[in-house]
Structure 1
């Protein structure tokens, strides 16, 4: 059975299942799960239970996303709690934040701006910049660490 046949048989089921469980993020998870399944299929491995495999892959992807989100939120809350931004006026805070963002290296700044101000996911940023989502995640982590370090000075 070809990958296209598997997709036709199970894509709608997977999308509905993940959307009901994870909301709109379920669509991204479904897309990533199909990418992973395509890689497994390309390696020549036989897929006997595609639904079980899809749900296992999707569950792991969702857990990875939640862990990344948790780490990012922890970094952001640390930065906010120890930040001089918390003690300044809104206008001064905006100017300081702009300076911090402009001080980022170009590759980190582009990812940071697309994520925080463009509202794009790592996958969407990766497509636009020609990077893997993992590289986007790494750059975002570095950008947040750089900003946090500057705020602590």
Structure 2
């Protein structure tokens, strides 16, 4: 097994050298997944995120860069699924999307076990705090927290988050 050399020995040091050597490669790798415009943005964000690590030398720069970039893509996808932009909500092709999401969420909540559903509905729809729910249902706050965790896991699993 060969020993990895620090980046500074291969090209100009630090972030500049890392960018010059791998930015085009990373951009090509990301284009297939997310398209050219988004790929360029993710490449830039990747280098911003790795800046604190660039001076210390990175043993496996391609693996490190690709992992950071893919994490950014994954995080962005999660964010978009959870909070659609105003443009997405107002576009003609997605007019039915909010209604579909509401119907899907209602079905998921109805299929949820009663113990979890009670806590979930009181918290999310009635705006009650955990101590208020605990008092209402005559259970401990810890039990409320546990049931809420299970309810959120239940929803996330069915929404494929």
User: TM-score, with normalisation over the residues of structure 1?
Assistant: 0.45
Bigger RCO (CA 8 Å, 6+ sep)? 1
User: TM-score, with normalisation over the residues of structure 2?
Assistant: 0.43
